[in-house]
């Protein structure tokens, strides 16, 4: 037989495009359209419905950037259409290739009842099936004219990302507003041909199945009268019945399709627009669930559910009904799909606390999985947190984006720093926006790396990023793929059902230990520095507010601010979303984030001040409150008192210019360039700075990645570097015991103060940068005389090690990585820590000196600032302040303590003469760090203490409560008793805990 595949396939494409798809709507009449443009921000639904619109014609331009227009469409169903299915076709000017990224709408009936959302892949509204003829149609559309930020020419800088700079030019052209007859037979024929055509293209050319489909498609096309598609569609469908009925083979891959709409809580749109995106998508999905009995939809991010409940009660009613039926499924158990690299220990825990509690309170549903398809890599401390929240599973997709190394598994056990393992799945479909295309389904089956021992995978199905969700076309395709020869078998089911099957068939999956590092988007650790600083500061303020409010409540009857703390935690957690905290959103988002963090700081400082004044009493005696988990200068952790004096620091001149700082523990030399050429550990008789090198060295690189400007830094950035070693001035600081350095470069200016606190082995570097560069990357370098093949990086509830070498492609790919408060590197018996108050990105490299002692220089570089132009063309412009400290002679315990010191400073309060405040709880072992002291969320008055082993070893510690204890319970993160836990050893108010390396434990103290 002659090979005519190309001929038939080309015929199929043209006939579908030019004849069959247009015949889905064979008859139409125009609707009358009027519009009212809301001034400013979106208005309540009732106001939009009541507004008096003016006339507008199709073809007219509408929609200033970020505007809201209320369209009213009216018409009458022709009598001649009686008995037929009729739909309204409402095209606001959509580009079908941009679902989620441009204008959208939510359709209402005149009484305010939501009907469904409109987006580029969902432009229809059912009027009747069948109609009687003569029905009056009246619909209202709340249309959002969101501008296209990410266009066909990717990553072009634009001012459209903020309403203050976007201008008022209309963005869209009203394209079609019609009533139309819907021919379901033709629509079904379209889907038959699409499914078979897409499957055929994925089958081997020499397979019989491919040729059987080809011949059936050819017969179907022969059966279609191109001048009467509607009259001959059924005849064409009959030609496809046999090939569509052929069942899949017994070894076919199994795909669990989960309806999905990954909605970024902010990204190329502001938070307020996400509220509306969620309402539009949810309206679509509840409507689809009513029409499609097999369909199941899952939605994560409790914050988005809460938005619907708060802002769209009319939509919420439909959600609650669908949840009760078990087909609209809460997923993930987190407040938002957060970044997981940068959030601190408590913040990561609270993502699950607030997320899971919302679903429990609203629906009585508890999720068993973390759902993070789009998060940019996963910190090594996360498995323990997931497990401590009562979940055991994780789903993500983003690791498939890694540029260098392909991840070796799709289903596996992920082991965290404490040994906790989580059953994890990466969908081999390699997208969280699956559209049920044949190419996607075939890719999932071919790509699945666990063939032979497992056969189930999951496909998140629906338009995402900006929302939209699953379409009726996707559901129809999935129905055809349920059991179809040559294809994987597809079934709709919730995430839990998939995980149950996957675990049952794969009882001993492979294990991956340590972080799940995304070999992409590394610059998200640095972009938008003020957003990151706001997050770090808010985390520590929240910890402090809970600590002092709980202490004051127990000691003085202070009213514990439950509602305020709950609200504030949710605000901070929202801003940890994986496009806000990483700095990859538009200017509007980060402008609002800065203002939000300022408000949060003001509110929390108010709570802290009120609680401390309640504790200190009235008077003029100075008392220091120490919120850190370590004693400082005699002031106990979590308590208040008068600190002990700790020596003096002296400032002297160097013979060759510059200064010497000496406090008897460290001697630091700063040369005439303002560079640290010596940091001598007097007690250890050991130099910290590598010979011939200098620390406090600012370095600037060009920074223009190949793609994803705010997200990426490509390795070639290192090919060019400028050392900023010239100083405008180097002088003694105003206090007489510090050194001030000023530098200018480009259009920017840096001012630094270097100080050596008395009695402490740490050099503090306070850096202020007035930053006005573009597409540059600023680093702060510390070349250290340390031979280390690995270094420790703090993460949630502990730390883990990364190599300093690049032996393999896996190690070489980690050229920019995340730390929390410290990095630490060491030789046996001596080490160095670099701690920070707000930076996350860093790199560590090693070289061997070719002259002199031929020793090893290990260089730690802190990432300070970037200047990408997309999606925010003014990223990081302006003044920034950072604090870092170099800690010579530090072991891991020192690194932990100094990381807390720089992030949780003491507070000086005036109070009564006897104003010492005993801690609410004390710990007798420095290896055990308390991360939270608070009152229980249920208002019972119980005291909750969370702690963890911080050094990577086993620990036995005694916790002593500063109040009478009736009982102690070991709980999960939600403060519920663990079912298999026994009450810890207790002697009155003294509790003994035994912890494995990095283990976290939550204790609930019932007060007597």
pLDDT in tens, 517-560: 999 999 999 999 999 999 999 999 999 999 999 999 999 999 99
Q: How confident is the model at residue 646 (pLDDT cuts 50, 70, 90)?
A: confident
**Strand runs labelled E in 4-92:** 28-30, 32-38, 54-55, 61-62, 67-76, 86-91
222-244 pLDDT tens trace? 999 999 999 999 999 999 999 99
Percentage of the chain with pLDDT > 70? 100
Question: Mean pLDDT, to the nearest integer, of 592-615?
Answer: 98
Which residues fall within 8 angstroms of residue 937, CB to CB, at 6 or more apart? Answer: 353, 357, 562, 566, 944, 975
What ranges in 656-779 are assigned the alpha helix state H? none
For tokens 């190309």, the residue is 6
Q: How confident is the model at residue 423 (pLDDT cuts 50, 70, 90)?
A: very high
Q: How confident is the model at residue 912 (pLDDT cuts 50, 70, 90)?
A: confident
pLDDT of residue 466: 84
Q: What is the mean pLDDT of the chain?
A: 97
Q: How many helices (H) and strands (E) does the chain have?
A: 19, 53
Tell me the pairing of strands 965-971 and 1000-1007: antiparallel
Question: Mean pLDDT, to the nearest integer, of 722-750?
Answer: 97
Statement: residue 914 has pLDDT above 80: no
Statement: residue 70 has pLDDT above 80: yes
Question: Mean pLDDT, to the nearest integer, of 556-575?
Answer: 98
Q: Which helix (H) or strand (E) holds 901?
A: helix 892-903
Q: What gap in Å lies between CA 128 and CA 179, rounded to an integer?
A: 11
Cis peptide bond upstream of 871, omega within 30: yes
HSE on the CB side for 769, CA within 13 Å?
A: 27
Residue 765 tokens, joined: 């570097």
pLDDT of residue 120: 96
Question: Mean pLDDT, to the nearest integer, of 725-743?
Answer: 97
pLDDT of residue 254: 98
Residue 732 tokens, joined: 């003694």
Statement: residue 272 has pLDDT above 90: yes
Which residues fall within 8 angstroms of residue 103, CB to CB, at 6 or more apart? Answer: 63, 92, 93, 94, 143, 144, 145, 146, 171, 172
Question: Mean pLDDT, to the nearest integer, of 320-340?
Answer: 97
Statement: residue 220 has pLDDT above 80: yes
498-508 pLDDT tens trace? 999 999 999 99
Percentage of the chain with pLDDT > 90? 97
Which residues fall within 8 angstroms of residue 97, CB to CB, at 6 or more apart? Answer: 120
Distances 466 to 99, 102, 148, 261, 433 between C-alpha atoms, Å: 7, 9, 11, 8, 11
Reduce the secondary structure of 924-978 to three states and give it as a string. CCCCEEEEEEEECCCCCCCEEEEEEECCCCCEEEEEEECCCEEEEEEECCCCCEC
Statement: residue 1 has pLDDT above 70: no
Q: Which residues are part of the catalytic machinery?
A: 374
659-691 pLDDT tens trace? 999 999 999 999 999 999 999 999 999 999 999
pLDDT of residue 3: 85
Q: What is the CA radius of gyration of the chain?
A: 31
Residue 314 tokens, joined: 């009319």
Answer whether 87's CB lies under 8 Å from 81's CB.
Answer: no
For tokens 């996963």, the residue is 378
Maximum alpha-carbon separation in the chain: 103
Statement: residue 780 has pLDDT above 70: yes
Q: How confident is the model at residue 984 (pLDDT cuts 50, 70, 90)?
A: confident
pLDDT of residue 242: 98
Question: Mean pLDDT, to the nearest integer, of 163-188?
Answer: 97
């Amino acid at each position: 037989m002659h090979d005519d595949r190309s001929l038939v396939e080309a015929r199929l494409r043209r006939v579908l495009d030019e004849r069959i798809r247009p015949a889905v709507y064979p008859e139409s009449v125009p609707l009358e359209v009027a519009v009212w443009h809301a001034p400013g921000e979106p208005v309540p639904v009732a106001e939009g419905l009541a507004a008096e619109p003016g006339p507008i014609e199709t073809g007219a331009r509408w929609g200033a950037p970020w505007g809201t227009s209320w369209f009213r469409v009216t018409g009458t169903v022709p009598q001649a259409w009686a008995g037929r299915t009729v739909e309204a076709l409402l095209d606001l000017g959509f580009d079908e290739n941009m679902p989620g990224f441009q204008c959208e709408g939510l359709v209402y009936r005149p009484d305010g009842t939501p009907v469904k959302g409109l987006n580029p892949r969902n432009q229809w509204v059912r009027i009747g099936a069948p109609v009687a003829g003569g029905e009056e149609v009246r619909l209202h559309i709340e249309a959002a004219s969101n501008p296209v930020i990410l266009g066909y020419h990717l990553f072009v800088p634009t001012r459209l990302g903020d309403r203050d700079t976007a201008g008022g030019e209309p963005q869209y052209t009203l394209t079609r507003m019609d009533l139309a007859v819907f021919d379901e037979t033709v629509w079904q024929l379209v889907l038959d041909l699409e499914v078979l055509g897409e499957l055929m293209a994925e089958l081997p050319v020499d397979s019989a199945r491919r040729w059987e489909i080809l011949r059936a498609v050819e017969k179907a096309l022969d059966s279609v009268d191109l001048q009467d598609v509607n009259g001959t569609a059924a005849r064409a469908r009959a030609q496809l019945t046999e090939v569509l009925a052929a069942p899949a083979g017994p070894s076919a891959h199994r795909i669990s399709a989960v309806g999905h709409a990954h909605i970024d809580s902010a990204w190329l749109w502001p938070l307020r627009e996400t509220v509306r995106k969620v309402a539009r998508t949810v309206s679509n999905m509840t409507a689809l669930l009513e029409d499609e009995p097999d369909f199941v939809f899952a939605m994560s991010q409790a914050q988005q559910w809460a938005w619907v409940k708060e802002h769209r009660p009319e939509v919420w009613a439909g959600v609650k009904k669908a949840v009760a039926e078990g087909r609209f499924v809460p997923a993930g158990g987190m407040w938002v799909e957060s970044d997981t690299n940068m959030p601190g220990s408590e913040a990561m825990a609270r993502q699950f606390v607030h997320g899971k509690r919302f679903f429990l309170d609203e629906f009585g549903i508890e999720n068993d999985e973390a759902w993070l398809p789009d998060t940019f890599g996963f910190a090594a401390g996360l498995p323990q947190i997931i497990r401590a929240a009562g979940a055991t599973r994780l789903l993500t997709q983003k690791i498939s984006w890694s540029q260098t190394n392909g991840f070796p598994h799709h289903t596996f056990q992920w082991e965290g720093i404490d040994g906790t393992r989580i059953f994890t799945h990466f969908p081999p479909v390699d997208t969280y926006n699956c559209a049920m295309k044949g190419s996607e389904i075939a890719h999932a089956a071919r790509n699945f790396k666990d063939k032979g021992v497992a056969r189930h995978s999951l496909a998140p199905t629906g338009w995402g990023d900006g929302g939209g969700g699953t379409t009726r076309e996707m559901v129809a395709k999935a129905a055809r793929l349920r059991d179809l020869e040559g294809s994987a078998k597809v079934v709709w089911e919730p995430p839990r059902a998939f995980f149950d099957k996957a675990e049952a068939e794969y009882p001993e999956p492979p294990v991956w230990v340590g972080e799940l590092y995304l070999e992409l988007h590394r610059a998200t650790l640095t972009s938008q520095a003020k957003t990151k600083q706001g997050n770090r500061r808010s985390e520590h303020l929240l910890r402090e507010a809970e600590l002092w409010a709980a202490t004051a409540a127990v000691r003085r009857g202070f009213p514990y601010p439950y509602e305020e703390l709950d609200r504030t935690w949710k605000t901070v957690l929202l801003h940890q979303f994986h496009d806000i905290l990483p700095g990859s959103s538009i200017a509007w988002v980060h402008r609002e984030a800065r203002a939000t963090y300022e408000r949060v700081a003001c509110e929390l400082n108010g709570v802290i001040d009120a609680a401390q004044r309640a504790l200190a009493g009235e008077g003029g005696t100075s008392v220091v409150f120490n919120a850190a988990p370590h004693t400082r200068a005699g002031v106990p952790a979590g308590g208040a008192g008068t600190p002990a004096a700790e020596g003096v620091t002296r400032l002297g001149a160097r013979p060759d210019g510059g200064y010497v700082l000496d406090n008897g523990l460290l001697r630091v030399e700063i040369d005439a360039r303002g560079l640290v050429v010596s940091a001598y550990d007097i007690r250890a008789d050991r130099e910290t700075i590598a010979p011939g090198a200098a620390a406090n060295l600012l370095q600037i690189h060009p920074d223009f990645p190949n793609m994803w400007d705010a997200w990426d830094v490509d390795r070639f950035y290192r090919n060019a570097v400028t050392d900023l070693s010239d100083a405008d001035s180097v002088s003694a600081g105003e206090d007489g015991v510090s050194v001030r350095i000023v530098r200018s470069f480009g259009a920017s200016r840096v001012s630094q103060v270097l100080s050596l606190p008395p009695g402490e082995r740490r050099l503090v570097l306070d850096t202020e940068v007035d930053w006005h560069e573009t597409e540059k990357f600023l680093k702060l370098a510390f070349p250290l005389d340390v031979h280390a093949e690995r270094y420790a990086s703090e993460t949630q509830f502990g730390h883990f090690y990364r190599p300093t070498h690049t032996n393999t492609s896996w190690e070489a790919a980690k050229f920019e990585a995340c730390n929390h408060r410290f990095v630490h590197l060491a030789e046996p018996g001596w080490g160095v820590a670099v701690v920070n108050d707000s930076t996350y990105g860093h790199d560590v490299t090693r070289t061997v000196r070719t002259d002199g002692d031929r020793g090893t220089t290990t260089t730690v570089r802190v990432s300070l600032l970037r200047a990408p132009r997309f999606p925010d063309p003014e990223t990081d412009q302006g003044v920034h302040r950072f604090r870092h400290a170099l800690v010579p002679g530090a072991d891991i315990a020192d690194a932990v303590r100094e990381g807390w010191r720089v992030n949780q400073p003491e507070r000086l309060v005036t109070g009564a003469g006897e104003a010492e405040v005993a801690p609410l709880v004390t710990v007798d072992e420095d290896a055990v760090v308390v991360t939270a002291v608070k009152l229980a969320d249920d208002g019972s008055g119980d005291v909750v203490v969370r702690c963890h082993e911080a050094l990577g070893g086993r620990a036995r510690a005694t916790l002593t409560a500063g109040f009478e204890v009736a009982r102690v319970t070991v709980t999960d993160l939600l403060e519920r008793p663990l079912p298999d836990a026994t009450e810890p050893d207790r002697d009155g108010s003294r509790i003994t805990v035994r912890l494995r390396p990095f283990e976290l434990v939550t204790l609930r103290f019932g007060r007597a």
